[in-house]
Amino acid sequence: MPERGVVDVLHVEDDPGYALMVRKSLALAGSSRRRAGTDGRQALRLLRGDGEHAGAPRPALVIVPLRLPGLPGLDVLAQSKADPGPADHPG
């Protein structure tokens, strides 16, 4: 069950500088729990709750760039929308 007032955020970024900037911005904003990935395929695993990510809450916000290694950001979002994952992870 999600914590009251805490927003789950999935941030996918392959550039360490951008990743640091977003991590610091989310920390300053407070009230968020960030999970991170570095490529499109990892993002899908995180969104679907595959493997070690099973049972993790589906993020309320996904920050993903258009260009990512493995799978472009738009494809990540399209595949995520087409396959919302387990029934306990609302789309």
pTM of the complete model: 0.77
* Token pair of 36 as six digits: 């991170």
Report the pLDDT value the prediction gives residue 89, as an integer from 0 to 100: 44
Q: Residue with structure tokens 């929308």?
A: 81
What is the distance, to the nearest Å, from the Cα of residue 17 to the centroid of all Cα atoms in its chain? 18
Tell me the pLDDT tens digit for each residue of 54-81.
888 888 899 999 999 989 999 998 988 8
pLDDT, average across residues 34-48: 90
DSSP 83: -
